[in-house]
Structures are given as C-alpha cells and as structure tokens.
Amino acid sequence: MIRIPCPFCGERDHSEFAYGKDASVQYPPLDAPLEDWHEAVFLRDNIRGVQLETWQHLHGCRQWLVVERDTATHHIHSVRAAHPGVAAVLAGAGNDAGSGK
C-alpha cells in the first residue's frame, strides 16, 4: 500500500486516491495547434525514478494533488495541492492538517 500524505486529510492508503497522470505535462491553450495537443495528450517521458504526477483524493477531500514519487521504489518525496489557491489555504492552516487532533 502506498501511503500518501494528503495535505488536508493526513496520510492515507493509495486506494482512497485515483492516480491521474504525469504532472509535468503542460496542456496548451484550447486553440493551440494540433502538434502541441498531440504532444500533451499522447507523449510521455515515462520516467523511471522521481516524477511529478497528479492524484486525486477521490474518497477523501477530493483534492487533486501533485505528488513527487519515485516510480521505481514507490517512495514519495513530496505532496502538495495542485490548485495554488488551495495550497496557500492549506499552508495557512497547515499546523494540524489531517491529524484529526
């Protein structure tokens, strides 16, 4: 079980989360040319090692998170909310986030 430290809920089983995708992909503007969209939607670095990826805490706080995780060891280096505004809110309230205390 990968244990993901959700910045809102605390450390939880990965089965509460849904894996998203490679978070390093920058999606182009909606009207960007086909080549840009082709690259964003279909092509991947597929890193063996530490990558940035998105997960959603589907059965928890429903936040989309950016997780820095090693794809070879499953070790997690960092987690933050994908939404910068949410990340800022949690940073402000972060003293007892998710501890339930």
79 sits near another protein (criterion: CB under 8 A)? no
Q: Which of 52, 63, 68, 80 binds another protein (CB under 8 A)?
A: 63
43 sits near another protein (criterion: CB under 8 A)? yes
80 sits near another protein (criterion: CB under 8 A)? no
Q: Which of 51, 52, 68, 80 binds another protein (CB under 8 A)?
A: 51
82 sits near another protein (criterion: CB under 8 A)? yes
Q: What whole-number distance in Å separates Cα of residue 79 and Cα of residue 66? A: 6
Q: Structure tokens of 83?
A: 């939404």
Which position has the token pair 């991947």?
A: 44
Q: What whole-number distance in Å separates Cα of residue 101 and Cα of residue 89? A: 19
